């Protein structure tokens, strides 16, 4: 049975049990399995009346909401190809994607989103707002889902770190296989939970991993609470007090630093206990304990850590699930210190979001787990991770040449550098295209160096290592840090590195790189080519000043 039918069967089985809710301004509203199915039927009857044919593309442009979920399931059930679009992207970028996939219809969350698109593209496809889809009236008759395993069901646009976004086509078979893998692994994680698992979800559904997670939670019959305002994530999370939530490293890093800064300002006994307990925990992990470490950890577990957990993420959290980018071992270790497991996931949109998932029974710090059953992974040239299996996409929309570049001899070339240990657990080292080739010929992955520098530089937002074709590496540091602090962080990192990997110069940029200023992708990844281009003068000055010394 294709996955859409399985989801509908699960919702029907849930009946009067609440399965999905959203929180707006502190108020929570939800729907039961039966009510969500009713919304899907209403959306299907409206969309079916638009005269679209099976295989036509249908855009979906709206923030996360219960109605987004119902519209998505309705579009899928009608045999259309859903194109989820991130509502916070600029209209120019969104229009480029729409022109690429030529949707016959676009479903919008509200009129303001319609206006933004039509200002850029007056001849935009027909628009259908949520208030029209879910307005008053009874749904018409709709039959069972019109989806077969071989059918393309979605086109998800990549974030485009170094160029134009590409539309990744995924089939019902891709999605169905992955949902089987994720629900099985979630079953291992959540098997001891009493009653219905409570999930907090804030990542946009236009991202493949977020969408797959949503469908997985629905198939498990979990209670999923949607954040609808990204500025209120922490407040909403405390109000919901979830058992689990999906997140990205950027958020966890920010949460950890916020606690450090708050306790540093507080000072006194609490800060002393916290600082000493952190140091004791790090020494325990490094297997270099000192006398008295146990006392500090006992005090922190009694007096400090429970309060941090409650204020930061609620009292009930059992585990965090982290994806999108590698999480620093320090941050993973930090949450473990608080008694919260952090499980990592690795994958790309082209692999239906996932290749590896941590096994809850054996989590290894700094690694992203083994390949999920049914997926083959190995290392190719330059330690590139290549993947083969039912999760691999059939190709990019209308881009045969770019498809052929990444799909070769049955293997998908991820562009990621990796390592695998004797237990089969993978570690993501960096991106092949990010490799810096020095004038000496040394090839260097910048990501591990950047992680080490920023670990010793709490006030920094980002560190970007540059040096392609140069004699040595330099770094751009963003945030409110001083030159002395930056130099100290570089000295600490350089002490552990061979000479050719050492960073010899730096430039401080007070303003952080962001989605708004065009330096980050919508899911928070560095646009290195854009950064290098826009900061060309600052980079040149770094090298000239160093040579002049």
Residues 6+ apart with CB under 8 A from 397: 100, 101, 155, 166, 167, 168, 169
Are β-strands 460-466 and 443-444 bridged in parallel, bridged antiparallel, or unpaired?
A: unpaired
Give the confidence band of 46 by pLDDT, cuts at 50, 70, 90: very high
Mean of pLDDT values over 14-42: 94
The pLDDT of residue 533 is: 85
pLDDT tens profile 87-132: 988 898 899 999 999 999 999 999 999 999 999 999 999 999 999 9
Q: Is the pLDDT of residue 226 over 70?
A: yes
The percent of residues in the chain predicted with pLDDT above 90, rounded, is 49
pLDDT tens profile 479-523: 888 999 999 999 998 988 888 889 999 999 998 898 888 888 776
Mean of pLDDT values over 136-153: 77
The pLDDT of residue 548 is: 45
Residues 6+ apart with CB under 8 A from 226: 20, 21, 22, 23, 64, 65, 66, 201, 202
- Stronger pLDDT, 149 or 129, i.e. the higher one: 129
Mean of pLDDT values over 142-156: 84
Q: Is the pLDDT of residue 325 over 60?
A: yes
* Ranges of CATH 3.40.50.12780 domains, the chain: 3-243, 249-315+318-432
Residue carrying structure tokens 């998908």: 412
Q: Is the pLDDT of residue 1 over 60?
A: no
Report the range of poorest mean pLDDT among 238-242, 276-280, 469-473, 542-546. Answer: 542-546
The pLDDT of residue 359 is: 86
Residues 6+ apart with CB under 8 A from 162: 433, 527, 528, 529
The pLDDT of residue 192 is: 52
Q: Is the pLDDT of residue 347 over 90?
A: yes
The pLDDT of residue 282 is: 87
Top-tier CATH class for 3-243: alpha beta
Q: Is the pLDDT of residue 331 over 70?
A: yes
Q: Is the pLDDT of residue 365 over 50?
A: yes
Tokens coding 332: 């993973």
The pLDDT of residue 532 is: 86
Query: Interior CA angle at 546 toward 544 and 549, to 5°?
Result: 110
Tokens coding 140: 């018409």
pLDDT tens profile 276-292: 988 888 888 888 888 88
Q: In what order do the strands lie in the sheet with 198-201?
A: 27-32, 18-24, 223-227, 198-201, 244-247, 319-322, 341-346, 356-357
Give domain 249-315+318-432's CATH number out of 3.40.50.300, 3.30.56.10, 3.40.50.12780, 1.10.150.110.
3.40.50.12780
Mean of pLDDT values over 223-240: 88
Give the confidence band of 529 by pLDDT, cuts at 50, 70, 90: confident
- Rounded to an integer, what distance in angstroms lies between the CA atom of residue 225 and that of residue 212? 16
Mean of pLDDT values over 69-83: 95
Residue carrying structure tokens 């003068």: 537
| Average of per-residue pLDDT values in the chain | 88
Give the confidence band of 549 by pLDDT, cuts at 50, 70, 90: very low
Nearest CA to 314 out of 238, 213, 208, 413 is that of 238
- Stronger pLDDT, 343 or 230, i.e. the higher one: 343
Give the confidence band of 140 by pLDDT, cuts at 50, 70, 90: low
Q: Is the pLDDT of residue 142 over 70?
A: no
Instruction: Please state the CATH superfamily assignment of the domain spanning residues 435-548 in this structure.
Output: ANL, C-terminal domain (3.30.300.30)
Mean of pLDDT values over 416-441: 86
Q: Is the pLDDT of residue 194 over 70?
A: no
Mean of pLDDT values over 130-159: 83
Nearest CA to 502 out of 534, 540, 546 is that of 546
The answer to whether the beta carbons of residues 73 and 29 sit under 8 Å apart is: no
Query: Interior CA angle at 529 toward 489 and 63, to 5°?
Result: 95
């Amino acid at each position: 049975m294709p996955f859409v039918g399985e989801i509908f069967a699960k919702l029907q089985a849930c009946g009067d049990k609440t399965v999905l809710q959203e929180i707006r301004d502190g108020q929570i509203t939800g729907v039961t399995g039966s009510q969500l199915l009713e919304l899907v039927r209403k959306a299907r009857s409206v969309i079916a009346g638009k005269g679209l044919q099976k295989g036509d593309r249908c855009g979906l442009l709206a923030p996360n909401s219960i109605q987004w979920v119902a519209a998505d399931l309705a579009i899928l059930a009608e045999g259309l190809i859903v194109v989820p679009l991130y509502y916070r992207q600029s209209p120019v970028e969104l229009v480029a994607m729409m022109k690429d996939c030529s949707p016959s219809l676009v479903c919008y969350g509200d009129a303001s989103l319609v206006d933004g698109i039509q200002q850029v593209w007056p001849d935009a496809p027909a628009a259908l707002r949520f208030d029209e889809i879910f307005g008053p009236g009874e749904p018409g008759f709709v039959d069972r889902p019109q989806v077969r395993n071989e059918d393309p069901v979605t086109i998800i646009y990549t974030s485009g770190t170094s160029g134009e976004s590409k539309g990744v086509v995924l089939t019902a078979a891709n999605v169905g296989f992955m949902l089987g893998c994720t629900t099985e692994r979630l079953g291992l994680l959540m098997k001891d939970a009493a009653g219905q698992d409570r999930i907090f979800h804030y990542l946009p559904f236009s991202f493949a991993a977020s969408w797959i997670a949503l469908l997985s939670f629905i198939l498990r019959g979990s209670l999923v609470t949607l954040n609808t305002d990204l500025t209120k994530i922490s407040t909403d999370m405390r109000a919901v007090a979830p058992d689990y939530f999906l997140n990205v490293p950027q958020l966890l890093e920010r949460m950890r630093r916020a606690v450090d800064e708050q306790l540093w300002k507080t000072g006194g006994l609490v800060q002393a206990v916290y600082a000493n307990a952190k140091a004791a925990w790090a020494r325990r992990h490094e297997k270099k304990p000192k006398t008295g470490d146990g006392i500090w950890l006992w005090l922190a577990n009694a007096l400090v850590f429970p309060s941090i957990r409650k204020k930061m993420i609620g009292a009930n959290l059992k585990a965090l699930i982290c994806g999108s980018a590698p999480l620093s071992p320090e941050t993973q270790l930090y949450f473990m210190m608080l008694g919260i497991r952090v499980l990592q996931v690795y994958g790309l949109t082209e692999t239906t979001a996932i290749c590896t998932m941590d096994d809850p029974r054996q989590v290894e710090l700094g690694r992203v787990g083994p390949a999920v059953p049914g997926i083959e992974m190995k290392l190719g040239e330059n330690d590139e991770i290549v993947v083969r299996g039912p999760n691999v996409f059939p190709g990019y929309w209308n881009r045969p040449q770019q498809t052929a570049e990444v799909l070769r001899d049955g293997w998908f070339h991820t562009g990621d550098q990796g390592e695998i240990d004797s237990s089969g657990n993978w570690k993501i080292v960096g991106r092949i295209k990010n490799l810096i080739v020095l004038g000496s010929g040394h090839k260097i992955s910048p990501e591990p160096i950047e992680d080490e520098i920023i670990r010793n530089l709490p006030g920094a937002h980002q560190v970007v290592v540059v040096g392609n074709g140069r004699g040595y590496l330099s770094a751009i540091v963003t945030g409110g840090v001083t030159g002395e602090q930056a130099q100290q962080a570089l000295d600490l990192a350089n002490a552990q590195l061979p000479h050719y990997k050492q960073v010899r110069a730096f430039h401080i940029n007070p303003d952080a790189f962001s989605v708004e200023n065009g330096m980050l992708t919508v899911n928070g990844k560095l646009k290195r080519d854009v950064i290098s281009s826009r900061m060309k003068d600052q980079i040149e000055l770094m090298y000239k000043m160093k040579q002049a010394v």
